[in-house]
Structure 1
Amino acid sequence: MSTREVSADEDPIIEGVEDLVAPMIAGEKPPERWRIGTEHEKLVFRQADHRAPAYDEPGGIRDLLLGLREFGWEPVEENGTVIAMRGADGTVSLEPAGQLELSGAPLENLHQTCAETGRHLAQVKAVGERLGVGFLGLGMWPDKTRDALPVMPKGRYAIMLRHMPRVGSMGLDMMLRTCTIQVNLDYASEADMALKFRTGLALQPLATALFANSPFTEGRPNGFLSYRSHIWSDTDPHRTGMLPFVFEEGFGYDRYARYMLDVPMYFVFRDGQYIDAAGQSFRDFLKGELPALPGERPRASDWIDHLSTAFPEVRLKSFLEMRGADGGPWSRICALPAFWVGLLYDSQALAAAWDLVKDWTMEERETLRNAVPRLALDAAIPGGGSLLDLAREVLPIARAGLTARARLNASGDNETGFLDPLEEIVSSGKVPAQRLLDKYAGEWDTDVSRAYKYSF
């Protein structure tokens, strides 16, 4: 989640629709300037007792963040509290219950992406070893109740934690108990954005299935393979889901902006403080009638903030965010951008991927999305067959797309090797969660705490 430091008092006031679509237009780039931004979260635990450390306890989350200074990272503060670290590899920030996130730098190729991930994991493990903490690559805490988890001192989280129970039964689980991997990608034009958005939304259930990695809740199997994905089904219906309008003729920047105007607000950031505007209307803000700030109209930075508060399966800001995957270990952190870059950054691959899903109805897309959290690759797809069958068609397209990109490392290897973990999943027919369940029933002897041995 984005990190704000100061109010942008000199930002221009938003005057009309052209200002609302301006960030999206500004995101347009020619293909040679397309970049890859990868974000991944990790669960942080005490090695001694697997407890989730608090922010300010000795050796806790604050000390973990500040420990990164030895690698050149600099603190980012909110009202004197360190909430992130900024460096050449992007930003390391804390999620609501202390999950640690790297929002990576925009990079040219997947070799750089995986090297960045490796540097980050090596650095946090080095600091963590001194502090007695480890890092778990799962989509959800396997054993923690909500009450067992700390809350980080970040202004926007306090507002969200108050608001979530008003709009859904699992929003607090989303904030406190889950981890994800996501990929941020560029587009060349409004038409290119629309095609990538549609293809990404239609295939997001496949990504969710391949990366399904959250089968436990509070120490027991929960009946799902991606419980993290299921949580989004009752988090907040106003800001989640498959966005049917994206598949309608004429979809573009204006339509997405109008959708965002109907997403209720969370906050406004002024003078270093988050002002609670939860449930209020950005449309009223445009008219100077926001109850939280009567008489004041929004600035450009307020709209940028608001764009970050919707959580659909694919999100548009000045780039597209692919948001469907559970957290996981190093190899799968590299595999997710490989999957999407292969499909979306080569024109022939993009056309082939869209051709596989373009005839699905919205009802069929929703049915598939709702089936995947439980069934993963066994979920039925429109027209017959399963997601596993679709994966056998999609992964070769992604591989061909990466081959066509011809981004080579110093050894002359292209980017296709980063798909190998997904190829293995498809070959075996077992997603990560199913392997964890096999361990639970076998060598773990139904002891979920054994999962901590599989930390980064």
Structure 2
Amino acid sequence: MSTRTVSDQDDPFIENPGQLAAPMIKGEKPRERWRIGTEHEKFVYRVSDHRAPSYDEPGGIHDLLMALTRFGWEPVLEGGKVIALSGSDGTISLEPAGQLELSGAPLENLHQTCAETGRHLKQVKEVGAELGLGFLGLGMWPDKRRDELPVMPKGRYGIMLDHMPRVGNLGLDMMLRTCTIQTNLDYGSEADMVQKFRVSLALQPLATALFASSPFTEGKPNGYFSYRSHIWTDTDPARTGMLPFVFDEGFGYERYVDYMLDVPMYFVFRDGRYINAAGQSFRDFMKGELPALPGELPRLSDWNDHLSTAFPEVRLKSFLEMRGADGGPWNRICALPALWVGLLYDQGALDAAWDIVKNWTIEEQQALRDAVPREGLCAPAPGGGTIRDLAGPVLDIAAAGLAARGEVNSMGDNEVGFLEPLRQIVKSGKSPADDLLDRYHGAWKGDFCPLYEELSF
């Protein structure tokens, strides 16, 4: 989740609705300036007992952040506490229960993305070895209850943790017990944004099935391949879901602004602190009638904050965010951006992907989204067959798109190889969750100690 450090009091006030599309319009870039942003979260645990460390304990999350500064990372403070790090590779931040996230820098190609991921993992493993900490790449804590997990000292999290139970049953699980991989990509124009939004939204369940790695809850199989994805269906209906209006004729920036104005607020950031505005209306804020700040008008930074508090399957800010994948190991961190870059950054591939999904009805899209968390690769796809059957042709399109980009490394390899982990999943018919369940019922004999030994970074 986003990390705020300044109040941006020099930002212009928002005086008319026309200003609200400004962040999206500003995001338009010519093709040569399109970049790749990759975000990935991981669970932090104590090697000695697999417990999730608190922020303040010796060798805990604070000490982990401070130890990482040896690699050139600069501390980011909130209320006198280090809650993030900034550097040339982006931002290291904390999710609510101490999940460690790298929000990578905007990069030109996937070779750079995977190198960035490798640098980060090498750094955290070096520090973790000194502090007795390990790092796990899965979609959900396999064996932790909510009450066993710490809460990080970030103001927005306190507001969200208080608000979540009012609007859904699983929002606290989303905050405390899940990890994801996310890809952020650019667009060239409003029309380009619309086509990319539609393709990525329709195919988001495919990514969920390929990356599913959350089949356990509190030490037992939960009946899902991606319980993390299921959690989003009962978190907060006002700010989650498939956004069927994206497929309406005339969809564009203004329609997304209307959607965001209907999303209830969480907070306003002022003078280094978060002011609770949970459930209040940004429309009222624009009229100077926000109960949390009566008489005050919002600034553009307030709107940018608000844009970060909706959690649909694909999110629009000044770029598009693909949000459907569970957390996973190094090679899948590189594979997710490979999938979406291949599909969205070459026009021929984008058109081919659109041809696959353009006749899907809204009902078929929602049925697919609903089925995938529990059925995984076996979920029925629109038009017949399963998600696994669909995945092969989609990966072929992505591979063609990556090949057309012609981005090669020093060895002369293009970006297509980053799709190989996904190819293997489709070939075997087994998602990461299938593999986890096989090990649980087989070699592990229901014991999670081997999971920590075998699946840590």
Residue in 1 that maps onto 2:270: 270
**Corresponding residue SS for 1:183:** strand
Are 1:93 and 2:90 matched, yes or no? no
C-alpha deviations, 1:350-396, integer Å up to 9, x for none? 00001001101101100000000011110001111100110011000
2:436 counterpart letter in structure 1? L
Q: Distance in 2 between matches of 1:350 and 1:369?
A: 21
1:4 counterpart letter in structure 2? R
Residue in 2 that maps onto 1:57: 57
Q: 1:78 touches 1:154 (CA, 8 Å); kept in 2?
A: yes
**Corresponding residue SS for 2:257:** helix
Q: Distance in 1 between matches of 2:110 and 2:273?
A: 37
Q: Distance in 2 between matches of 1:441 and 1:300?
A: 53
Residue in 2 that maps onto 1:299: 299
**Corresponding residue SS for 1:44:** strand
1:49-198 matched pairs, under 5 angstroms: 49-198=49-198
Q: 1:92 touches 1:103 (CA, 8 Å); kept in 2?
A: yes
Q: Distance in 2 between matches of 1:403 and 1:176?
A: 39
Q: Distance in 1 between matches of 2:24 and 2:382?
A: 32
TM-score, normalization by structure 1: 1.00
1:400 counterpart letter in structure 2? A
Q: 1:220 touches 1:448 (CA, 8 Å); kept in 2?
A: no
C-alpha deviations, 1:231-282, integer Å up to 9, x for none? 0000000000000100000000000000000000000000111000000000
C-alpha deviations, 1:116-137, integer Å up to 9, x for none? 0000000000001000000000
2:398 counterpart letter in structure 1? A
C-alpha deviations, 1:133-173, integer Å up to 9, x for none? 00000000000000000000000000000000000000000
Q: CA deviation at 1:305?
A: 0.1
2:168 counterpart letter in structure 1? G
Residue in 2 that maps onto 1:207: 207
Q: CA deviation at 1:18?
A: 2.0
Residue in 1 that maps onto 2:335: 335
Residue in 2 that maps onto 1:440: 440
Q: Distance in 2 between matches of 1:31 and 1:449?
A: 47
Residue in 1 that maps onto 2:456: 455
TM-score, normalization by structure 2: 0.99
2:5 counterpart letter in structure 1? E
Q: Distance in 1 between matches of 2:294 and 2:30?
A: 42
Residue in 1 that maps onto 2:374: 374
Q: Distance in 2 between matches of 1:316 and 1:135?
A: 30
Q: Distance in 2 between matches of 1:348 and 1:242?
A: 25
C-alpha deviations, 1:102-123, integer Å up to 9, x for none? 0000000000000000000000
**Corresponding residue SS for 1:86:** strand
Q: CA deviation at 1:6?
A: 1.3
Residue in 2 that maps onto 1:37: 37
Residue in 2 that maps onto 1:414: 414
Runs of 4+ aligned structure 1 residues displaced above 4 Å come to none
Residue in 2 that maps onto 1:246: 246
Q: 1:111 touches 1:409 (CA, 8 Å); kept in 2?
A: yes
Q: CA deviation at 1:448?
A: 2.5
Greater shift, 311-320 or 5-14, is seen at 5-14
Q: Could you tell me the percent identity over the aligned residues?
A: 76
**Corresponding residue SS for 1:92:** strand
**Corresponding residue SS for 2:56:** coil
**Corresponding residue SS for 1:102:** strand
Residue in 2 that maps onto 1:24: 24
**Corresponding residue SS for 1:115:** helix
Q: CA deviation at 1:17?
A: 2.1
Residue in 1 that maps onto 2:229: 229
Q: CA deviation at 1:449?
A: 3.1
Q: Distance in 2 between matches of 1:139 and 1:99?
A: 11
1:335-374 matched pairs, under 5 angstroms: 335-374=335-374
RMSD over aligned Cα, in angstroms? Answer: 0.5
Residue in 2 that maps onto 1:279: 279
Q: Distance in 1 between matches of 2:407 and 2:18?
A: 37
Q: 1:37 touches 1:185 (CA, 8 Å); kept in 2?
A: yes
C-alpha deviations, 1:38-95, integer Å up to 9, x for none? 0000000000000000000000000001111110101000011000011110000010
Greater shift, 373-382 or 316-325, is seen at 373-382
**Corresponding residue SS for 1:9:** coil
Q: Distance in 2 between matches of 1:200 and 1:97?
A: 29
Q: Distance in 2 between matches of 1:148 and 1:157?
A: 17
2:94 counterpart letter in structure 1? L
1:103 counterpart letter in structure 2? S
Greater shift, 15-24 or 363-372, is seen at 15-24
Q: Distance in 2 between matches of 1:285 and 1:64?
A: 39
Q: 1:76 touches 1:86 (CA, 8 Å); kept in 2?
A: yes
Structure 1: gaps spanning 5 or more residues = none
Q: Distance in 2 between matches of 1:274 and 1:341?
A: 35
Structure 2: gaps spanning 5 or more residues = none
1:67 counterpart letter in structure 2? A
Q: CA deviation at 1:2?
A: 1.1
Q: Distance in 2 between matches of 1:190 and 1:18?
A: 15
Q: Distance in 1 between matches of 2:206 and 2:417?
A: 19
1:379 counterpart letter in structure 2? A
2:134 counterpart letter in structure 1? G
Q: Distance in 1 between matches of 2:449 and 2:191?
A: 48
Q: Distance in 1 between matches of 2:284 and 2:197?
A: 28
